[in-house]
Amino acid sequence: MLATLGYGDAIGHEVLGIQRVLRAAGYCSDIFVETVDPRLESLTRDYRELVDASSPDNLLLHHFSIGSKASRTAYALPDRMALIYHNITPPEYFAAVHRTLARQCFRGRREIHAYIDRCDLALGDSEFNRQDLASLGFPRTAVLPVVPDLTHLDDPADWFVARQFDDDWTNILFVGRVIGNKKIEDLIRIFHAYQSFNPRSRLLIVGVFSVFERYFAALTHMVQALQLNNVHFVGHVSDAELVAYYEAADLFLCASEHEGFCVPLVEAFYKQIPVLAYAATAVPATMDGAGVLFDDKRPGHVAAIMEAILSDPDLQDDIVEGQLAAVDRLQAKDFDGTLLRFVEQILRAPRQGSCRVAFDFWHQFDASEELEEIRMYRPGAFKALPER
Bigger pLDDT: 357 vs 155: 155
Phi, psi (degrees; rounded to nearest 5) at 2: -155, 160
Please compute the mean of the pLDDT values over residues 96-103 and round it to a whole number.
86
- Please provide the CATH number assigned to the domain covering 2-147+335-357: 3.40.50
pLDDT tens digits, 208-243: 887 788 999 999 999 999 999 999 999 999 999 999
Domains 2-147+335-357 and 152-331 share a fold: yes
Residues 6+ apart with CB under 8 A from 83: 62, 64, 115, 118, 119, 121, 122, 123, 133, 138
Phi, psi (degrees; rounded to nearest 5) at 39: -70, -15
Bigger pLDDT: 269 vs 210: 269
Distance CA 388, CA 380 (A): 17
Q: What angle, rounded to 10 degrees, do the helices at 335-348 and 10-24 form?
A: 70
Distance CA 357, CA 359 (A): 6
Q: In what order do the strands lie in the sheet with 45-46?
A: 2-5, 32-36, 45-46
pLDDT of residue 187: 98
What pairing do the DSSP bridges indicate for beta strands 45-46 and 59-64?
unpaired
Range 152-331: architecture per CATH: 3-Layer(aba) Sandwich (3.40)
Whether the pLDDT of residue 386 is over 80: the answer is no
pLDDT of residue 368: 66
pLDDT tens digits, 36-79: 989 899 999 999 899 899 999 999 999 998 878 888 888 888 89
Whether the pLDDT of residue 295 is over 70: the answer is yes
Phi, psi (degrees; rounded to nearest 5) at 353: -90, 150
pLDDT tens digits, 274-283: 999 999 999 9
Listed by start position, the domains of the chain span: 2-147+335-357, 152-331
pLDDT of residue 47: 92
